[in-house]
């Protein structure tokens, strides 16, 4: 089902958690709400679920205005960071809960419920554990039970709040791939909250980057990574360098020397140049470039990371070069970003 968030504002007492947020979620999409803590991502998720009500604005499920509906009426599946399994109920009872509490008219019979539970246990790969209690399961298993429980009521939208946040790195990675697979198989419209950019970029069809109660950017992982539209997104997603430069009639200058980059249409004055460590070339021939002093090199996975200082005030810039490159022997190098973006004014780094 499509979900549309329209001009939603949320205030807790006097603190504004969300300012005027709008978002279209397409049917069947797997979407990530990504941001640092306090960015409002969980609040947005809880508003969609109906666990909170917006101070202003509305939320549509399909063509229906769901803003006035209670959480029960919205028919969503919600998965909590700390599972929120009912600890006095077995796995079977947990998964069956949403079906068993239905009024008699719409409640499936016992055999049907048992069939559905078995099916879901298969789906989450926990067959045979239906008699266990939550305390007898590992974290990863608990979260899968929580997911099966949410899926049991055949929700119109599946909402997950930091679903892997409480798990260790290995289980996390495993569950990530598994959730993607599950989504492809069941096709539920799914929204999940995460502060882990790797998780968001790897898993989601589209990523919503949030900061301080606002949506900074919405796009596919490629769009978010390759064309960040604000200093915040550039700083928050992936690694980046920020260098203070000045613009004069479309030419970029660093410490009054042209660096060979042209930004047509950029306003004259101070600006910040953003680029990623791996989007930099070392300039060997003549021509304008950014001169840097090497202050250190480190092995960084399959590449070598070189730390340099550039400009008069010694701004720190990191660049990635191949492991066998012979750079750094002279202590100086000239570099030029291949891909970069210019943002006016002083940015904040994520």
Partner 1 sequence: MAADTSPSRGPIVSPSFTGATTEHKATRWTLTLIAVSFLLLVIVLPLVSVFAEALSKGFATYLAALIEPDAMSAIRLTLTVTIIAVPMNIVFGVAAAWAIAKFEFKGKALLTTLIDLPFSVSPVISGLVYVLLFGAGSVLGPWLKAHGVEILFAVPGIVLATIFVTFPFVARELIPLMQEQGTTDEEAALSLGASGWQTFRFVTLPNIKWGLLYGVLLCNARAMGEFGAVSVVSGRIRGATTTLPLHIEILYNEYNVVAAFAVASLLALLALLTLGLKAAMEWRYGAEIAAATRH
Distance CA 61, CA 112 (A): 28
Binding to partner 1 (CB under 8 A) within 37-76 occurs at 49, 51, 71-72, 75-76
**Is 322 an interacting residue with respect to partner 1 (CB under 8 A)?**
no
| C-beta of residue 8 within 8 angstroms of C-beta of residue 20 | yes
Cβ-based nearer residue to partner 1, 64 or 181: 64
CB-count burial class (<10 Å; 0-12, 13-18, 19+) for 329: exposed
Binder among 153, 166, 282, 327 for partner 1 (CB under 8 A): 153
98-131 as b/e: b if 16+ CB within 10 A? bbeeeeeeeeeeeeebeebbeebbebbebeebbe
Distance CA 111, CA 97 (A): 14
CB of 179 to partner 1, least distance (A): 18
Distance CA 189, CA 72 (A): 18
**Is 107 an interacting residue with respect to partner 1 (CB under 8 A)?**
no
Region from 148-156, 205-213, 274-282, 318-326 binding partner 1, contact rule CB under 8 A = 148-156
Binder among 4, 55, 58, 80 for partner 1 (CB under 8 A): 80
User: Which x/- pattern over 231-260 shows residues binding partner 1 (rule: CB under 8 A)?
Assistant: ------------------------------
Binder among 5, 25, 78, 182 for partner 1 (CB under 8 A): 78
SS3 of residue 137 by DSSP: coil
Q: Residues in the site for partner 1, rule: CB under 8 A? A: 49, 51, 71-72, 75-78, 80, 82, 84-88, 97-98, 101-102, 133, 135, 146, 149-150, 152-153
């Amino acid at each position: 089902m499509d979900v549309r968030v329209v001009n939603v504002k949320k205030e807790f007492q006097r603190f504004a958690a969300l300012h005027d947020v709008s978002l279209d979620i397409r049917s069947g999409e797997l979407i990530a709400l990504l941001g640092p803590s306090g960015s409002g991502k969980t609040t947005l998720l809880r508003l969609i679920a109906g666990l909170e009500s917006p101070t202003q604005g509305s939320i549509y499920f399909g063509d229906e205005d769901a803003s006035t509906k209670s959480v029960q009426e919205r028919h969503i599946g919600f998965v909590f960071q700390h599972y929120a399994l009912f600890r006095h109920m077995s796995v079977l009872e947990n998964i069956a809960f949403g079906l068993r509490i239905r009024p008699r008219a719409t409640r499936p019979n016992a055999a049907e419920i048992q069939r559905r539970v078995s099916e879901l246990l298969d789906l989450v790969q926990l067959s045979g554990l239906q008699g266990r209690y939550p305390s007898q399961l590992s974290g990863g298993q608990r979260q899968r039970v929580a997911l099966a429980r949410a899926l049991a009521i055949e929700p119109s939208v599946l909402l997950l709040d930091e679903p892997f946040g409480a798990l260790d790195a290995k289980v996390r990675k495993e569950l990530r791939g598994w959730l993607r697979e599950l989504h492809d198989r069941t096709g539920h419209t799914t929204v999940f909250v995460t502060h882990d950019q790797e998780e968001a970029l790897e898993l989601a069809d589209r990523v919503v980057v949030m900061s301080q109660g606002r949506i900074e950017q919405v796009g596919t992982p490629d769009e978010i990574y390759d064309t960040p539209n604000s200093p915040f997104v550039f700083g928050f997603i992936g690694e980046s360098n920020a260098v203070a430069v000045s613009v004069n009639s479309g030419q970029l200058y660093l410490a009054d020397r042209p660096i060979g980059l042209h930004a047509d249409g950029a306003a004259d004055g101070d600006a910040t140049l953003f680029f990623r460590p791996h989007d930099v070339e070392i300039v060997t021939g003549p021509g304008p470039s950014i001169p840097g002093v090497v202050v250190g090199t480190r092995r960084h996975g399959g590449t070598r990371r070189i730390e340099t200082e550039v400009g008069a005030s010694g701004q720190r810039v990191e660049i990635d070069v191949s492991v066998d490159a012979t750079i750094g022997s002279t202590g100086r190098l000239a570099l030029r970003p291949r891909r970069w973006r210019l943002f006016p004014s002083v940015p904040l780094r994520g």
